[in-house]
Amino acid sequence: MNRWSGLFGMLIALSPMLALAQEIAPQFDPVFADHAVLQRDRPLRVRGTAAPGQMLTLGIAGISLDTVANAKGDWTATLPAMAAGGPYRLSATDKAGKSSAIEDVMVGDVFLCGGQSNMSYLTKYATNASNQLKTPTDPAIRFATIPISYSPLKQSKLPERIQWRIAAPDTLGESSAVCYYMALELKKEKGVTIGFVRSSLGGTRVESWLSAATLRDVIPQADMAKPPNWQAGPTVLYNGMIAPLGAYSFKGAVWYQGESNVADPENYRRLLPPMMRDWRQTFADPGLPFVIVQLTAFGPVATKPVKSDWAELREVQRQVALDIPKTALVVSIDVGDRSDIHPAQKKIVGQRVARAKRHLAYSDPVSVGGPRPLTAMRRGDDVVVRFGDTDGGLLTYSSNQAIGFEICDAARACRFTEARAEGDTIVLSGANRSNPAFVRYAWANSPIVNLYGKTDNPAIPFEMAIR
């Protein structure tokens, strides 16, 4: 064989690849779409596909960057951090001149909204929706909804390109109410475009939102084999609705879930922290700020101290927010509906989430939200509970007493007790005479509460050992 025949053979072997390169245009990962919001002030991770081995150039706002597709046709690139602005055109062009582009891209702040039905609760069903949906189109608020996808295996990308929508009378009703009202507040405060991506599904347990590797470390294999409910098995929603978003960068995450786990608060305590670590690892952001919306009121009211799974799970959420860095808790107990597990007053919840994000993600000089218990101490015949984040002192609405406080012995036999506000403290008069071990507040499925801080945020329900 002479050198010409060898070269001819090589060209024949390469011809399918050359033809493929001529036919395949570069594409962006399906999470990137027209009208998207990209995270400002940090390197922008972008990925997609092209012909194997093809060189291509990414461009946005006068910035260009070269990259090369690997043997499988996948490419990744990291664009330099950009300040808030837009609209821009994000393009990918290969050396043959073929290109694709994402139009009307804004750079601002982007949030991931996860959980179950109260996160999925749409703006069109929320209190005062008829008036809210009359507001003019607002290009500075944009949202995307991840399609429901159960997958037994971890997916690297979504099956179809998502649809980013601009908030407008004909689109807004399909957004997550909690995250829309959060976005509305943050846009007013920060003056930049706010985007949010909802990846949630009603009736799901936290087990569905963890990776398989993490869940194996937390739960015995025999237990993993049992489906957690009627809706979704372990890990399948993480695989299909969280892992594929790994190319995106977020300012923070909001988690509104727990109703489906109330029967087992102890297990929830084991699962929620690793779920948060999973998500932070997925988005390559170990400090991703998390806001947890504490369970609201639902179910029967109590006329005496009772055992309450709902209260126990709220306490788990409080403890997780205390234990895990860059995590905040939002109280929703006072805007619940004891006869409806899906309360319609989502505006207040969204505004409280925005306040928590201002504290957590933006380092604004504001408290996270409601008064939080710091210590419970014995003082003579009394027990004194000290609170932080009161914003100037505790208030008791419609009474000179704070209702809902309980004193409990070591076996958690509890009784209601009188309580009065003094500055940043609650004094439980005479509560120390019976040698109590714990103090509780708002410990019921649907507690009636009247203890607030000076900024109209309710105190956090809790149980605490007395020192």
pLDDT bucket at 222, cuts 50 / 70 / 90: very low
To the nearest 10°, the Cα dihedral for 323, 253, 109, 248? 120
Q: Residue 221: pLDDT above 80?
A: no
What pLDDT is attached to residue 226?
Answer: 47
- The string of pLDDT tens digits covering residues 54-93 is 999 999 999 999 999 999 999 999 999 999 999 999 999 9
pLDDT bucket at 232, cuts 50 / 70 / 90: confident
CATH C-level class of 1-369:
alpha beta
Q: Residue 22: pLDDT above 80?
A: no
Give, rounded to a whole angstrom, the gap between the first and last alpha carbons of the chain: 91
SS (H, E, C) the chain: CCHHHHHHHHHHHHHHHHHHHHHCCCEECCCCCCCCEEECCCCEEEEEECCCCCEEEEEECCEEEEEECCCCCEEEEEECCCCCEEEEEEEEEECCCCEEEEEEEEEEEEEEEEECHHHHCEHHHCCCHHHHCCCCCEEEEEEEECCCCCCCCCCCCCCCCCCEEEECCCCHHHCEHHHHHHHHHHHHHHCCCEEEEEEECCCCCHHHHCCHHHHHHHCCHHHHCCCCCCCCCCCHHHHHHHHHHCCCCCCEEEEECCHHHCCCHHHHHHHHHHHHHHHHHHCCCCCCCEEEECCCCCCCCCCCCCCCHHHHHHHHHHHHHHHCCCEEEECCHHHCCCCCCCCCCHHHHHHHHHHHHHHHCCCCCCCCCCCEEEEEEEECCEEEEEEECCCCCCEECCCCCCCCEEEECCCCCEEECCCEEECCEEEECCHHHHCCCEEEECCCCCCCCCEECCCCCECCCEEEECC
Q: Residue 21: pLDDT above 60?
A: no
Cα-Cα-Cα-Cα dihedral sign, residues 360, 362, 363, 365: negative
CA angle (55, 57, 58) in 5-degree steps: 140
Instruction: Summarize the confidence of residues 164-192 as an average pLDDT.
Output: 98
C-alpha separations of 57 from 36, 44, 69, 303 in Å: 20, 15, 11, 68
What pLDDT is attached to residue 228?
Answer: 46
Q: pTM of this prediction?
A: 0.93
Q: Residue 11: pLDDT above 60?
A: no
Number of Cβ within 10 Å of residue 255's Cβ equals 26
Instruction: Summarize the confidence of residues 290-306 as an average pLDDT.
Output: 96
Residue 368 contacts residue 388 (beta carbons within 8 Å)? no
pLDDT bucket at 230, cuts 50 / 70 / 90: confident
Cis peptide bond N-terminal to 447, omega within 30: no
C-alpha separations of 269 from 95, 227, 273, 330, 360 in Å: 52, 19, 7, 17, 22
Tell which residue, 121, 103, 209, has the closest CA to residue 161. 103
Q: Residue 174: pLDDT above 60?
A: yes
Q: What percent of the chain has pLDDT over 90?
A: 91
Mean pLDDT of the residues in the chain: 94
Instruction: Summarize the confidence of residues 25-38 as an average pLDDT.
Output: 97
pLDDT bucket at 3, cuts 50 / 70 / 90: low
pLDDT bucket at 23, cuts 50 / 70 / 90: confident
Tell which residue, 90, 175, 113, 112, has the closest CA to residue 138. 175
Name the residue type at position 34.
D
The β-bridge relationship of strands 63-68 and 372-379 is unpaired
The residues spanned by each domain of the chain are 1-369, 372-465
Residue 387 contacts residue 374 (beta carbons within 8 Å)? yes
Cα(346)–Cα(290) distance, integer angstroms: 19
Q: Residue 16: pLDDT above 90?
A: no
- The string of pLDDT tens digits covering residues 423-455 is 999 999 999 999 999 999 999 999 999 999 999
